[in-house]
Amino acid sequence: MEKIIDELQEAKVGKILENELLANHTTMKIGGPADLLIIPNDIEGLINAIKIISHYKLPWRAIGRGSNLLVSDEGIEGVVIKLANGLDHIDIDGTTVTVGGGYPIVKLAMVISKEGLDGFAFASGIPGSVGGAVYMNAGAHGSDISKILKKAFILFEDGSTEWLTNEELEFSYRTSVLQTKRPGIVLEAVFELKEGKKEEIVAIMQKNKDYRKDTQPWNFPCAGSIFRNPLPNYAGQLIEQAGLKGYSIGGAQISEMHGNFIVNAGGATAKNVLDLIQYIKDTIYQKYGVEMETEVEIIGRK
């Protein structure tokens, strides 16, 4: 590993940390160490890092701001690449917004609203980064990324880059081709919005923000929604109907505010969360015959 670290440093890829606890980089505050954590300075640094990692055939994965992730207590083998301040550039040209994969979604929604651009207000309370939002087709309040994304600049495992159009990203509910057929990192995203009235957009954003504040437990470490909605049912409603709100295993607890959130109530481990997820799955299937599928991404050593 020392040789690899030396090459990464020579290439000036960015910040490099060995055996860094991912609990420090996830919104749930859970996760064991990554063999190597890289926080790239910029797109060039990220591309150089991928080329070196690929040369040594090291396993790797990218994360954004750590939402929608549950990292195992044993951590992650290989390299974790964190998209953060080095990939947070933004350019607004009329109704077209080009933004780096590390840009925070909440901040982007605010910037866009101040420009009087309509179409992004649904995302005002979504945690995480642009890259993660494109990767999983994040959505809320009846809309999602697929409705506004024009194209995305993707870095693939072999170090090659390519612009993929909305159609080529093959969006579906909380899914894109980046999760299935073509694993890659979102370096940039281009959104096409519409001109709107600033006051109306800000009002909608505030309404969405208030709704999340009143119904979701963001005062506790959590990853966001744990389960996909098994339409026409809603995950949170099923869990609440089953009387599971407040149920806990170790430090992991089903939120008292929203059934589809598991919070770290103090000292929770990934095993606590996984055991609680399984308990929910078993209970909902026994009561309603509905199979629950996780939305949160579960990664790391087993």
Name the active-site residue from 174, 176, 188, 255. Answer: 174
End-to-end, the C-alpha distance of the chain in Å comes to: 22
Cβ atoms 38, 49 nearer than 8 A = yes
Half-sphere exposure of 106 (CA within 13 A, CB side): 10
Three-class SS of residue 70?
strand
| DSSP secondary structure string for all residues of 230-285 | -TTS-HHHHHHHTT-TT-EETTEEE-SS-TT-EEE-SS--HHHHHHHHHHHHHHHH
Three-class SS of residue 155?
strand
What φ, ψ does residue 227 adopt, rounded to 5°?
A: -115, 150
228 is catalytic: no
295 is catalytic: yes
Gap between the Cα atoms of 236 and 36, Å rounded: 36
225 is catalytic: yes
**Strand partners for 276:** none
Catalogue the active-site residues: 174, 225, 295
